[in-house]
Amino acid sequence: MSYIKTYIHFVWSTKNRFPFLDSKELRQKVWLHIKENAKEKGIFVDFVNGYSDHCHCLVSLGADQTIQKTMQLIKGESSFWINKNNLCKGQFQWQDDYFAVSVSESMIDRVRNYIKNQEQHHAKQSFHEEYEAFIVKYNFPKE
């Protein structure tokens, strides 16, 4: 048996960063659905949370799971589910792009706490500011 533990911190936004997820109740419903649906598909979502215009998801990838396929399954299905259940005004969409960074075992709790505290975090910092900080922190090329 192979033993694999590969954690990825995913971050993605709503289309054009529109605040579709405009209530805490709606966000909690969407995060719960993402976690439950991922489990059905064999994707281990360790923690999921976010704010009105984006989502953070800590995932432990399995041996046969790719970053691209995992994002496709999570984002595509959740977008379909949100629209099917008329949970938002207008047509809900996620942005095509996303961040995906590996997380070492020693940083798992820190990343979980960061994801857990999104409501408080975004009372002080916009997603745009968080996005820019991610670009710098992880040395991604600027567009």
Q: Is 56 within 8 Å of 11 (Cβ atoms)?
A: yes
CA distance linking residue 99 with residue 85, whole number of Å: 27
> Which stretch of DSSP H or E encloses residue 11?
strand 6-13
CA distance 94 to 137: 23
Domain range list for the chain:
6-137
Reference 100, options 53, 63, 57; nearest CA is 57
pTM: 0.94
Q: What is the rounded average pLDDT of the residues 113-133?
A: 92
Tokens standing for 112?
A: 């979980």
pLDDT (tens digit per residue) in 5-37: 999 999 999 999 999 999 999 999 999 999 999
6-137: CATH topology: Alpha-Beta Plaits (3.30.70)
Q: Tell how far CA 133 is from the center of its chain.
A: 17
Residue 115, pLDDT score = 97
* pLDDT (mean) for 107-136: 93
**What one-letter code names the amino acid at 95?**
Q
- Minimum mean pLDDT among 40-54, 86-100, 115-129: which range? 115-129
pLDDT for the residue 17: 95
State which amino acid sits at residue 109: D
- pLDDT for the residue 77: 97
